[in-house]
Chain A
Amino acid sequence: MEFFFQQLINALQLGSFYALIAIGYSMVYGVLLLFNFAHGDVFMVGAYIGFFVSSALLGLNIFGALALPLSVTLSLVLVLTLIISMALNSIVGMLVERIGYRPLRDAPRASAAITGLMIGIILETGNLAILGPQRRSFPELIQSATINIAGVSFTNKKILIVFISILLTLALHQFVRHTKWGMAMRAMAYDYVVVPLMGISTNKIALMTFALGSALAAAAGILYGVAYPVLDPNMGILFGWKAFVAAILGGRGSILGAGLAGFLLGFIEIFVATIFPSTMRNLIAFGIILIILTFRPHGFFGEPFSAQLRL
């Protein structure tokens, strides 16, 4: 039983990363009908931004020389790192949209998709060129402790990671359901051609969509750094692909769908790995997803959209 609960929290933790990244994929797909294949690498960039921000706050690494006289507690550092990095990474996301995708707004979708792949490669190799090939260890932002719940012990980190990711998912869901900006996103997902007739700049909504997705990807990157404290420039590739799968599974443009599918993916992977040899983990996990998609080709919760895509 203890083992089961341990695996459960492991699955939730892994699912947390997938969920946070998948939401960014799903939003951009929903609002702009675009697969942003650079998103896994935007997650990687977010993790590195988190690394530098937390190092600066703690006066570590290259920032040691600055010796900032900050006597802040670790939990405050974590919160500040999250907020600052999410803000900075949303700027990265907006640049990706502005420079990479906007010029191709009316181009065939395939051109936009390969643009995403190229931006991803530029981010990976750019990181390699600027920061060098060595891996970075993420500063310790949470003092490890074990929490005992009903006789089962969990590490505090895992619980916090799951908690923060669920919180961010729900917050974004509320934003999209209840603010006028969220309403504009849903309108654009339904029929983007008519949105300008409401006096709304589709470019602004596009930028905001990228900003929100990238902010969540930065949160995923930081939480990833808290869980496995090693970053490398290629960390976003496999995570990005898996989160993309979760986004499709969740249904076009559905935040809760993407979140739930992210967690589902975490469960499938972890429980497959406990039963089968670890070499078969991805094989079986993705086999299962293929079967699910055969029965639900539009995923779980996709937003409806208009069939007329011109005025």
Chain B
Amino acid sequence: MLLTVENLSVSYGNIKALHGISFEVDQGEIVCIIGANGAGKSTTLRAISRMIPAETGSRILFQGEDLLEYPADKVVTDLGISHVPEGRRLFENLTINENLKLAAFARSDEDGIAADRERVFSIFPRLKERINQKAGTLSGGEQQMLAVGRAMMSARKLMLLDEPSMGLAPLLMMDVFSALKDINDEGTTILLVEQNARMALQFAQRGYVLETGLLVLEGPSQELLEDPEVKKAYLGG
């Protein structure tokens, strides 16, 4: 297993957002976690990227290493996990070029950086055209491309994606997901959380269903797509 999450619990003050969830992601997979507003999807990703502390008793293993020993910046640089946060969170005061450079801040393999840049531009040619434009002036779709491009520059083993479909027109959404498929084909494992369950399940091989901090269902995407409960609750009947 590439990533093993066991009994993960997270609280914000008195509010318990995750009640001891467990799941796994294998090397090369695309796995999705679907759930409604406030289910704890973003919280799960934040705990893996160490943006928020996990409660004692939680265990996260990445390639056999205890991930919870690593601070957030080392999760990126030492473990190779990138996180595209909810709402993209680009540095809107910096240009596309600067955002991409910043994502490679801790890397010193100049050749690797140059190759990754080329990959980003070949997957998202639009970014190259606008390379010196401030991120804050990009359209929503371009911002999502830059957010994914930034993650490609920072780490390549596992990419955590928080609602990449948010705010995108259907056609653009297909573009972004097909780019993600390319990235996955090149060896980056993907863990995706989505409210858009149909899109996520069509894209991922396996899925988990998160309900108010508990995983209630799991299985291959096809099974979940056909599951009556899932259909009723997440796919609009």
User: A residues within 8 Å of B by Cβ?
Assistant: 180, 183-184, 186-187, 189-191, 193-194, 196-202, 303-306, 308, 311
Minimum distance in angstroms from B100 CB to a CB of chain A: 10
Chain A CB within 8 A of B103 CB: yes
Is the Cβ of B94 less than 8 Å from the Cβ of A201?
A: no
Is the Cβ of B105 less than 8 Å from the Cβ of A197?
A: no
Is the Cβ of B76 less than 8 Å from the Cβ of A197?
A: yes
Q: Which of A183, A304, A311 contacts B89 (CB 8 A)?
A: A311
Residues B53-100 near A (CB distance < 8 A): 71-73, 76-77, 82-83, 85-87, 89, 91-94, 98
Q: CA separation between A36 and B51, bound complex, in Å?
A: 26
Minimum distance in angstroms from A107 CB to a CB of chain B: 16
Is the Cβ of B154 less than 8 Å from the Cβ of A198?
A: yes
Is the Cβ of A198 less than 8 Å from the Cβ of B85?
A: no
Is the Cβ of A193 less than 8 Å from the Cβ of B51?
A: yes
Is the Cβ of A196 less than 8 Å from the Cβ of B71?
A: yes
Is the Cβ of B92 less than 8 Å from the Cβ of A183?
A: no
Chain A CB within 8 A of B131 CB: no
Q: Given the interface contacts A183-B98, A198-B103, A199-B154, does A191 sit within 8 Å of B89 by beta carbon?
A: yes
Is the Cβ of A180 less than 8 Å from the Cβ of B105?
A: yes
Is the Cβ of A198 less than 8 Å from the Cβ of B105?
A: yes
Nearest-neighbor residue (CB-CB) of B52 within chain A: A311
Q: CA separation between A69 and B81, bound complex, in Å?
A: 57
Is the Cβ of A199 less than 8 Å from the Cβ of B89?
A: no
Is the Cβ of B94 less than 8 Å from the Cβ of A199?
A: no
Q: Could you jot down 18 A-B contacts, CB within 8 Å? A: A180-B102, A183-B94, A187-B102, A190-B92, A190-B93, A190-B94, A197-B51, A197-B85, A199-B73, A199-B103, A199-B155, A200-B73, A202-B73, A304-B92, A306-B89, A311-B52, A311-B86, A311-B89
Minimum distance in angstroms from B150 CB to a CB of chain A: 7
Is the Cβ of B93 less than 8 Å from the Cβ of A304?
A: yes
Q: CA separation between A187 and B103, bound complex, in Å?
A: 11
Nearest-neighbor residue (CB-CB) of B155 within chain A: A199
Chain A CB within 8 A of B198 CB: no
Nearest-neighbor residue (CB-CB) of A304 within chain B: B93
Is the Cβ of B93 less than 8 Å from the Cβ of A303?
A: yes
Is the Cβ of B105 less than 8 Å from the Cβ of A308?
A: no
Nearest-neighbor residue (CB-CB) of A188 within chain B: B91
Is the Cβ of A186 less than 8 Å from the Cβ of B93?
A: yes
Nearest-neighbor residue (CB-CB) of B83 within chain A: A197
Q: CA separation between A131 and B205, bound complex, in Å?
A: 71
Q: CA separation between A190 and B72, bound complex, in Å?
A: 18
Q: CA separation between A308 and B150, bound complex, in Å?
A: 19
Q: CA separation between A180 and B101, bound complex, in Å?
A: 8
Q: CA separation between A120 and B73, bound complex, in Å?
A: 32
Chain A residues in 8 Å Cβ range of B72: 196-197
Q: CA separation between A194 and B147, bound complex, in Å?
A: 12
Chain A residues in 8 Å Cβ range of B76: 196-199
Is the Cβ of B82 less than 8 Å from the Cβ of A197?
A: yes
Chain A CB within 8 A of B106 CB: yes
Q: Which of B51, B52, B101 contacts A183 (CB 8 A)?
A: B101
Q: CA separation between A196 and B103, bound complex, in Å?
A: 10
Chain A CB within 8 A of B46 CB: yes
Q: CA separation between A305 and B92, bound complex, in Å?
A: 8
Is the Cβ of B77 less than 8 Å from the Cβ of A306?
A: no
Q: CA separation between A190 and B91, bound complex, in Å?
A: 6
Chain A CB within 8 A of B44 CB: no
Q: CA separation between A279 and B73, bound complex, in Å?
A: 54
Minimum distance in angstroms from A189 CB to a CB of chain B: 8
Chain A residues in 8 Å Cβ range of B46: 311
